[in-house]
Amino acid sequence: MNILVLYEDESLVVVDKPAGMVVDEVAAQTGARLVHRLDRDTSGIMVLAKNASAELDLKKQFEERKVVKKYLALVHGEMPEDQGLITTPLAKHPQNRTRVVVGGETDRSAITEWKVTKRIQSYTLVELLPHTGRTHQLRVHPQSIGHPIVADPIYGYRKKLKADLAFCPRLFLHATYLEFTHPTTGRRNSFTSQLPTDLQTVVDNLVH
């Protein structure tokens, strides 16, 4: 798969990751170091470091929640409010360590802000702004309030997955915006990414 490079200098590279690619492959193709992750089936903006100093700086920004991240997701159901905040703690699944569940003995705080972008038939296109970076947070949090992401094979409606995949080819989650402080210049940098063609087609077909 080809990776679209949005920006590159001596310290970092910003890319638009295609769905279906693991982040380790992104690092291998760009020759840069991972400082955060996107799920394999999630597309969108990532920043990678090109040296140890930039890696340390960027990782610290993510850990201290100084990075602004925004995603677009299509979820099941019509969300009644225009915006809200999900603060349910998350924990590793006791039997399956690759999955995440709401609450538990080892729960960790998780915060997701959401804003409705458009209501379409029995779905809602929603902007998700994570204030924490827990594993699968943006997939579990909407599901926890009764609005799982369309075509999510793990956290979505199992009985509706086949129907989802009939009109949406993959998990409808895209990283649309990333803002951080450049580790060398100290300036705030921001990057945006429009919905890729496969997801935009899903929206267009629902609207029409």
Q: Which two tokens stand for residue 30?
A: 């760009």
Given 39, 82, 198, 204, the catalytic residue? 39
- Residue 142 to residue 113: CA distance in whole angstroms: 10
DSSP secondary structure string, 17-36? Answer: EPTT--HHHHHHHHT-EESS
Q: Which two tokens stand for residue 71?
A: 């995603």
Amino acid symbol at 145: I
Residue 82 a catalytic site member = no
In the DSSP assignment, the letter for residue 9 is -
CA atoms within 13 A on the CB side of 168: 29
Q: Give the contacts of 121 (CB within 8 A, at least 6 positions apart).
A: 206
CA nearest 25: which of 5, 40, 7?
Answer: 40
Do residues 152 and 142 make contact, with C-beta atoms less than 8 angstroms apart? no
Active site residues: 39
